[in-house]
Chains A and B, each alone.
Chain A
């Protein structure tokens, strides 16, 4: 029994629970299963031995490794399971078996993919994440959600197709399906798979599916979506491309550019989606420095893993708090919100904890992870990259740390007379807030940041890092407090750009407006001018055919007279000369 317990990928348990949940109409039983499965999954994971193929299988003659735990995927899998548990609690007020099932199945695919030990198994679960998660967008039951869901599916499937291309290339050239680092982009299939992972990680210019789909998902769906796909992509980057130089600059760009969009955005779930993008940038940058042959590289990978773990929790917390506001007021628009601390004080309090964590305020989980990243980049990366990340830290503070809680909870009262969030939502937020505080406490051993660091891929190096040195704490506090001062002064003098309703254009404009309008224009042209164009094309074709036939057919001009005979003789002579030349040259 014990062997069976440790030989089953916990993700499979979640997948099974998701399938059963989708069919089970009895709400208490279904929701009980939804809470129990992740708890059981966490127990199974903690019992699993490391660095062994715990479950294998065969398909189409290929050896598949379905369950393998190591120090890297353990932390991601654990965070996914904790997130699945929190999301199940957060959804308790809602009686929607399809939604419950899809959310748990999606979590199951992410957990299963984390523990996959070969490229084909990973691909299967990679694709299933797309299929399962789209239901969380579609269940919002709006036309906007339907359209966004379809775009989301296209992008995700494109990532899957590229991944499959890469796997085929790897297998053809090497005969191996091992899930191991490529070493360089010149390795077979490395570029295809990097592009596939780049889409899922929402690299710059490939990012907009996050801001398009997440804010249009259901209240609970937005929370669930924020946890899994992008972090799974970070795990795959850490697994397949550790130490790839270009990731450093991609990560910095990714951390910086969303700040400018987030400050303009009116929809707070879109602001959080941009914040998520920026945070993934920090992780990608750290992975880019994660050369496993060096101590600093190992520390960089530690930092990426730590940040992914804490981000899964505090990002969920932020989406939960704005989700609760959306649930009660029916809007997540900053221009329509304000003053909710009077009606939803606990939601506001938990939202503030999430904001403090994402902004890396000392004593919160984001700080102990982000300080590791900036410290490693300072030691091993270019100075400009470090400066970019410091700039991004302050930027995250302004949009996710200050703008989101201020506009939702403390800005001008917009007259929403609503009740506090349902108890289950508060409970989920409370647990997430507790983790976000406890994992950041300055306790080096036992619970506190020491607990988090002990779970990292290279715990010995992590234990040597001291995030709470006086210099580091003062530096971070300066950044944050001076940032608040700037924010308050700008607001006081009316220089801060106010919350205005509107659509902020991003790269999705290319396919949602430009390409769409071009297609509409082409259709209109073909409708109006189609018959005339076809007639003109037919006339030109007929005339060309007549001319060609008149020249080249057996009855044509070129078949008659001495010119044809002369041409044939000259062609034969030139061919003979070429053959002679080739013969002489070769010999």
Chain B
């Protein structure tokens, strides 16, 4: 079914534009057209369908689920909800405070906030269509584990004592712990449709540019970097290549949509799977703009700890995957 996008790219690049199949330009352009058309078509369908199902699940409902749960269950649920909720970094602070002021442990809130940018329906769709099921499952497992383990670790070191004073006070007083859900009326199909269309527009507006940037860079890599260049130049998963990839990934700020098409090209050019995943997750989850936002609710000490925790976990994940999957 997806081969129609290959045919479309064949037709545009080789027949309409008359480029020769083996040239670098032709190769890169073909990759770009095939991937962008495929991604946009799949995204439209997928976002709409998921939004139909998700329309009755809002952040208040999630909070009500998480209030008063035991911690272990809290981390699992937090990461799970993070994965199925779309993410806009502009709402991460209100969500964090909303959770905290309901007495939800910092670790549970962070399990939610760490998983949310890493895993969402757009990311999963791109992974499945570009990299296949197996890789997708590994990616999802790693994302969930990082959220759960990161959250548990933050509670272990009493992260709540390193919040900004007003947030600490809110955590202790729990003014929002008893907020009842207004009795939710079942949504009609029409309301679900309206919600899904709004969601589709909203997500498209946020991601379309990333798809172009991501696929564009991926296409350049694809067409102009020689086969197995990474394997030849970065070695076959030398230990230092993983932390290096993580460090390179931090100042690069992207979301999952932009980075997954690049992953495809990196893997094709012989970069080991662990290194690739470490690089991409650090690009998506550890970004400076996000940390500047978090400064409003966390003290420097906690920010530094969080940052180092992420670096260490991405590196560990990279090493483990390089050793086991190769």
Specify whether A and B are partners: no
B residues near A (Cβ < 8 Å) are none
Q: Which residues of A contact B (CB under 8 A)?
A: none
